[in-house]
Amino acid sequence: MKILLGTPITGILNDKSKKRCLERKKFICEFINVLRSQGHEVFCAIEIEKFGEKIAPGEICTQRDFEAMKKCDVYVAFPNDSYGCAVELGWASAFGKPIFLAINNAFGVKTPLYEGLGMIDTAQIKNYSSQLDFPQLDDKELMESLNEFLNNI
Mean pLDDT score, 78-87:
90
User: So what's the pLDDT on residue 5?
Assistant: 98
Integer Cα distance of 37 and 18 in angstroms = 28
| Residue 37 exposure: Cα atoms within 13 Å on the Cβ side | 6
Residues forming beta bridges with residue 42, ordered by sequence position = 3
Query: Kindly report the CA angle at 10 between 30 and 113, in degrees rounded to 5?
Result: 90
Architecture of the domain defined by 2-151: 3-Layer(aba) Sandwich (3.40)
Q: Where are the domains of the chain?
A: 2-151
Question: Collapsing DSSP states into helix, strand and coil, what is residue 35?
Answer: helix
> Could you tell me the pTM of the whole model?
0.93
Checking if the pLDDT of 109 tops 80, the result is no
Element containing residue 77 per DSSP (H, E): strand 74-77
Residues 68, 149: Cα–Cα separation, whole Å: 20
d(CA 2, CA 25): 21
pLDDT in tens, 26-70: 999 999 999 999 999 999 999 999 998 899 999 999 999 999 999
Distance CA 136, CA 24 (A): 11
Q: How far apart are CA 96 and CA 106, in angstroms?
A: 28
